[in-house]
């Protein structure tokens, strides 16, 4: 049994389901589930199967331990109100028999609960292929039977197979036949994406009906259980064939709700490219917000504002950023560092990241087929960072982010000291600190961005230079609090008790501790009460 996980544990369970694990290591004496906030839930074990019921919503780790407490195996899974909520999202572009086992294995290791199946359609206007062998709109050959088997495999690991589905794309023939469905520029030229596709009017009732019928039939026939509604970030000045102005934002909103009404059970996401339309309300669950990131949002520090604009300030669990770091044409170690840090930064902002998928793939280009493939030890590094984020992700959604008003000013109630700069936003050359606080828990995340001078997800990143930081936290009754620390790369990355000492702060006595940051990311968790 690998210490990585359990083969029969799904990626996600619904709130009223029992979690069961049967492939326990032979030496297993007890099984428990840990939440990111530190609560533990013991499992009952009978005839080699562990059962855990009444778990809270969130992303948790299940552990099998020996009589002496040795960790034998662990794995992450989610408990969700609806299928597809708060996704761990991946992508696939390989639809051949040779790669299917490897693709599904990687998606399983990533614990993906939603998988975007990219560019599978026979054409933009008529997506369902009529032959077993066909070509996608860019001429890539696809084996329909292999695609269907991949969809079955995705759903078998407990993930949603979400069909990539561009909402404004049509081929030339349909667009020419239906000029009343399409959009035009102010010079009378049809709106298009280069020579690839024609852009249709999302407010057109005829186009909506055609799209919903065509994609609905394809989704049902091929076995998908979700739709990713893709857009292109424009047009910004759109007209009908008769020259009447079109509100594309209102058209998108109406289109989304029409799809939701027609497909009430499919897991939906809609691409707000760079946050457009601003403040769009996602469809009712099952769904999640999705934002593709482009310049000028090319710095890590831009991501927080992008999430706020996209949501109109109403962030919710499941908000997802799609990032394509274009960094893989030079030093691979610095490219990988940028990729893992981009996901880590997004996690600390309380959001999710689409960056990993396919056959050990990492996105670097908007045409997902042109992704990079991880090699050798790069796979283990990416997985280590990703799984550390899964362990900690719920902490950043648990309560109030106080980073901007209690970190490192003269009245600070949280002080992070080292030889360089500490910042409450993800700046290049800095130790990025994020603080989450409620009455009973204080979380301080330390992410070393000192190896990237620009602080950009579009440039390579060297190793950071921060090995350790001194963290002081003001709490109401210091003797009632205890500290635990998770350090990336240390053992299994789990939380271990950390010694503290009293320190004088401006408003009284706080707790001070030394935090190792030599792995690049460490998360300090202070909790009121005794250690469990």
Residue with token string 């919710």: 316
Strands 30-34, 58-65: pairing kind:
antiparallel
Who contacts 482 (Cβ-Cβ below 8 Å, separation ≥6)? 497, 500, 526, 527, 529, 530, 531
Angle between helices 144-156 and 97-110 (to 10 degrees): 20
Can the peptide bond before residue 286 be classed as cis, meaning omega within 30 degrees of 0? yes
**pLDDT of 315 over the 80 cut:** no
**pLDDT of 1 over the 50 cut:** no
Buried b (16+ CB within 10 A) or exposed e, 142-151: bbbebbbbbb
Buried b (16+ CB within 10 A) or exposed e, 222-237: bbbbbbbbbbbeebee
**pLDDT of 3 over the 60 cut:** no
Distance CA 485, CA 79 (A): 24
Q: What is the pLDDT of residues 464-504, one digit of tens each?
A: 999 999 999 999 999 999 999 999 999 778 999 999 999 99
Q: What are the boundaries of each domain within the chain?
A: 12-80, 89-166+202-234+247-322, 399-528
Query: For the domain 12-80, what is the CATH superfamily, name and number?
Result: Macroglobulin (MG2) domain (2.60.40.1930)
Half-sphere exposure (CA, 13 Å, Cβ side) for 155?
Answer: 15
The reported pLDDT for the residue numbered 5 is: 76
Q: Which two tokens stand for residue 86?
A: 């708060």
Per DSSP, helices labelled H in 53-162 are 97-110, 144-156
Angle between helices 144-156 and 205-222 (to 10 degrees): 80
The reported pLDDT for the residue numbered 518 is: 93
Distance CA 268, CA 284 (A): 9
Residue with token string 């008529």: 126
Do domains 12-80 and 399-528 share one topology? The answer is: yes
pLDDT level of residue 532 (50, 70, 90 thresholds): low
pTM above 0.85, yes or no: yes
CB atoms within 10 A of CB 480: 12
* Highest CATH level, class, for 89-166+202-234+247-322: alpha beta
Range scoring the smallest mean pLDDT among 3-7, 130-134, 187-191, 499-503: 3-7
Choosing among 2.60.40.1180, 1.10.3720.10, 3.60.40.10, 3.30.420.40, the CATH entry for 399-528 is 2.60.40.1180
Q: What is the pLDDT of residues 29-60, one digit of tens each?
A: 999 999 999 999 999 999 889 999 999 999 99
Distance CA 513, CA 478 (A): 13
């Amino acid at each position: 049994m690998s210490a990585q996980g359990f083969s029969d544990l799904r990626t996600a369970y619904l709130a009223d389901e029992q979690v069961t694990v049967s492939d326990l290591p032979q030496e297993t004496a007890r099984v428990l589930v840990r939440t990111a906030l530190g609560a533990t839930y013991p499992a009952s074990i009978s005839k080699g199967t562990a059962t855990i019921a009444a778990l809270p919503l969130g992303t948790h780790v299940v552990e099998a331990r020996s009589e002496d407490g040795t960790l034998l195996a662990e794995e992450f899974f989610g408990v969700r109100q609806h299928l597809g909520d708060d996704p761990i999202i991946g992508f696939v572009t390989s639809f051949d028999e040779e790669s299917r086992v490897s693709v599904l294995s990687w998606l399983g290791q990533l614990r993906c609960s939603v998988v975007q199946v990219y560019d599978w359609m026979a054409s933009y206007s008529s997506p369902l292929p009529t032959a077993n062998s066909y070509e996608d709109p860019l001429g890539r050959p696809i084996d329909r039977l292999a695609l269907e088997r991949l969809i079955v495999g995705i759903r078998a690991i407990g993930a949603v197979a979400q069909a990539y589905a561009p909402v404004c794309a049509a081929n030339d023939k349909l667009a020419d036949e239906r000029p009343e469905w399409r959009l035009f520029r102010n010079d009378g030229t049809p709106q298009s994406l280069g020579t690839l596709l024609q852009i249709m009017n999302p407010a057109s009732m005829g186009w909506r009906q055609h799209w919903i019928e065509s994609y609905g039939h394809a989704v049902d026939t091929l076995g998908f259980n979700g739709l990713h509604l893709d857009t292109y970030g424009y047009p910004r000045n759109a007209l009908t064939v008769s020259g009447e102005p079109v509100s594309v934002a209102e058209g998108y909103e109406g289109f989304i709700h029409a799809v939701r009404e027609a497909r009430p059970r499919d897991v939906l996401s809609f691409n707000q490219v760079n946050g457009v339309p601003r403040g769009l309300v996602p469809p009712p669950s099952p769904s999640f917000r999705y934002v593709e990131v482009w310049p000028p949002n090319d710095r890590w520090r831009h991501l927080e504002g992008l999430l706020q604009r996209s949501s109109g300030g109403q962030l919710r669990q499941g908000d997802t950023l799609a990032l394509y770091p274009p960094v893989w044409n030079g030093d691979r170690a610095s490219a990988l560092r940028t990729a893992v840090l981009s996901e880590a930064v997004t996690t600390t902002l309380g959001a999710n990241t689409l960056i990993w998928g396919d056959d050990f793939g990492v996105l670097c280009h908007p045409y997902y087929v042109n992704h990079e493939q991880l090699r050798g030890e790069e796979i283990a590094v990416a997985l280590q960072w990703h799984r550390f984020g899964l362990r900690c992700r719920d902490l950043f959604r648990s309560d109030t982010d106080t980073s901007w008003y209690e970190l490192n000013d003269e009245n600070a109630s949280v002080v992070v000291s080292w030889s360089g700069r500490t910042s409450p936003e993800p700046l290049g050359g800095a130790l990025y600190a994020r603080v989450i606080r409620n009455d009973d828990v204080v979380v301080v995340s330390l992410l070393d961005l000192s190896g990237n001078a620009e602080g950009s997800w579009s440039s390579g990143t060297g190793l950071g230079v921060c090995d350790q930081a001194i963290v002081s936290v003001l709490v109401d009754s210091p003797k009632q609090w205890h500290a635990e620390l998770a350090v990336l790369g240390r053992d299994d990355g789990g939380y271990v008790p950390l010694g503290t000492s009293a320190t004088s702060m401006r408003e009284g006595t706080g707790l001070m501790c030394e935090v190792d940051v030599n792995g690049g990311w460490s998360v300090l968790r202070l909790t009121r009460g005794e250690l469990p």
